[in-house]
Amino acid sequence: MKSLLVLLFPVYLFSQENCFDDGQKHYSAKGKLSHYTQMTEFILLNNPKHIKYKENRANLSYEEDERMDEYSGMPYEQRMSEDYKRFEIFYKYFNHQFHYIRLQKAGKSLYAVAENQFGHWLLEIKGRKPKAYYIGFSKNTYVNRRQKNGFIRNNTLFLDGSFISIKKGIRFDEWTAVKDFLTFEISLDDIKKDSDGDGYNDLFEHLIFLNSDSRDTDGDGISDFEDLNPLHASERNRFTELFESIIESDLGENEDATRDYYSFKIYESDCNFFQRIHPKDTRILVLSGSQAYQLENNSRSSPFGTFYGRIKKGPDETTFYIPYFKSSSGGRIIAEYKDGKWSVLEDQEYKT
């Protein structure tokens, strides 16, 4: 009997209560940082347990490191050319997923310290096999762009930096050093730990809410490393297709990021239709409001893309409106369903 019902009309196997406008106001979780982030005691206590630190007065301070620029006065194109020559092998394997800081040969491995939307990483190329390990610094850790040679010794990663306080601003955040001249020490065993062997280290899986003890967090038969939407098993129905159309409109033409395993488009939505979409050309994380709040507090680089609000039904069953907010701007999407397909466009009257 159940299979007959599925044939007669779409059965949504999850709650729709967070998807449609109920007349109440619903807000994005982004930007609601606790004021405790600014307290020095809290910053020091919030340092992850796997990261040790010592004071070293020979290091550069936060302000000194910020002022130093090895490419100062060099045209942008030349900067990029010099950077590519320096880290060519890492560009070959990781493309433009990271900004590369320092490299080192250690044994049979070539390592690089790098940074992306989530924070700092240790990259390794060994026997033509690339791997990336999220280091797991707190939001209030600043890692110097100028690092000493030999940052890997005795199975330990050594990086210079500082602890900083972050004051949220309208356009830019204000950073102030609260403890300078530090050298952070992290065991490579802690960094490389991958309990389920799926290709993502435990520290990264904890950050983005994946299950570090399961290769397939959402149980859809695709490993987390290969899954373009690893947090949620995909469904196919009219409204998941709506959000897929919106995602496609966000991407550039011919953009294919399916092999960029460490870069994600990040969205905030409590709507199950959005969470269960099947992206085609990019990796996505669709976070609930509580997850978005937590990641915003744990990621210094604020990796968020767009918050999409609830669907508001139009005057008929074919037109719908969806508010959105990204960075410091927002607006509304007009979506029309006709002949089994969605068309989406920006409502120019609501764009800010």
Q: What is the pLDDT of residue 76?
A: 82
**What digits encode the pLDDT tens for the residues 188-215?**
999 999 999 999 999 999 999 999 999 9
Question: Which pLDDT does position 172 carry in this prediction?
Answer: 77
CB 186 within 8 A of CB 51: yes
Q: Sheet holding 119-126: strands in order across?
A: 99-106, 109-116, 119-126, 129-134
Which two structure tokens, joined as six digits, stand for 214?
A: 């399961």
Distance CA 134, CA 116 (A): 10
Query: How much is the pLDDT for 188?
Result: 98
Lowest-pLDDT range, 91-105, 171-185, 214-228, 241-255? 241-255
Domain assignment present for 220: no
| pLDDT for residue 226 is more than 70 | yes
Among 167, 192, 217, give the residue marking a domain's end: 192
pLDDT digits (tens, 9 = 90+) for 20-41: 987 776 556 555 444 444 688 9
Map residue 119 onto helix, strand or coil: strand
Q: Which backbone phi and psi does 30 adopt, to 5 degrees?
A: -65, 145
* Residue 333 is assigned to a structural domain of this protein: yes
Confidence band (pLDDT; 50, 70, 90) for 306?
Answer: confident
Is residue 351 in some structural domain? no
Do both 119 and 62 map to the same domain? yes
Residue 209 within any structural domain of the chain: no
Within a domain: 217:
no
Q: Which of 166, 192, 218 is the last residue of a domain?
A: 192
For 352, the 3-state DSSP assignment is coil
Domain co-membership, 50 together with 112? yes
Q: DSSP 3-state helix, strand, coil percentages of the chain (rounded to 5)?
A: 20, 30, 50
Q: Does residue 212 sit within a domain?
A: no
Domain final residue pick, 192, 211, 243: 192
What are the CA-CA distances from residue 241 to residues 119, 256, 274, 297, 342 (Å)? 32, 19, 9, 31, 8
Mark whether 180 and 323 lie in a shared domain: no
Strands 51-55 and 141-143 come out as unpaired
pLDDT tens per residue, range 139-155? 999 999 999 989 999 99
Gap between the Cα atoms of 88 and 302, Å rounded? 27
Residue 169: both structure tokens together: 């601003």
The pLDDT value recorded for residue 344 is: 94
Instruction: Measure the CA–CA gap between 5 and 228, rounded to whole angstroms.
Output: 30
Question: Do 234 and 114 have their domain in common?
Answer: no
Residues 83 and 21 in one domain: no
**What average pLDDT does this structure show over 169-179?**
85
Total-model pTM: 0.89
**Residue 244 located in a structural domain:** yes
Which one has a higher pLDDT value, 33 or 164?
Answer: 164
If one counts the domains in the chain, the total is 2
Residue 6: both structure tokens together: 């599925």
Q: What is the pLDDT of residue 168?
A: 78
User: In which band, very low, low, confident or very high, does the pLDDT at 304 lie, cut at 50, 70 and 90?
Assistant: low
Do 159 and 281 have their domain in common?
Answer: no
Residues 267 and 303 in one domain: yes
C-alpha–C-alpha distance, residues 293 and 92, integer Å: 34
Domain extent for 143? 35-192
66 and 179 fall within a common domain: yes
Task: Please give the full DSSP string across 177-231, using - where no structure is assigned.
Answer: EEEEEEEEEEEHHHHH--TT-SSS-HHHHHHTT--TT-S-TT-SSS-TTT-SSTT
Q: Are residues 146 and 236 in the same domain?
A: no
- The residue written with tokens 């007065």 in the block is 57
* Predicted local confidence at residue 90, as pLDDT: 97
Distance between CA atoms of 154 and 152, rounded to whole angstroms?
Answer: 7
Mean pLDDT of 172-187: 94
Same domain for 107 and 168?
yes
Q: What is the mean pLDDT of residues 252-281?
A: 88
Q: What is the pLDDT of residue 157?
A: 98
Mean model confidence pLDDT for the chain: 88
Kindly state whether residues 181 and 232 are assigned to the same domain. Answer: no
Q: Is the pLDDT of residue 5 over 60?
A: no
- Whether residues 49 and 173 share a domain: the answer is yes
pLDDT at residue 10, as a whole number = 40
pLDDT for res 12: 41
Q: Is residue 7 a part of any domain in this protein?
A: yes
Lowest mean pLDDT among 70-79, 220-229, 230-239: 70-79
pLDDT of residue 56: 96
**Between residues 167 and 190, which one has the greater pLDDT?**
190
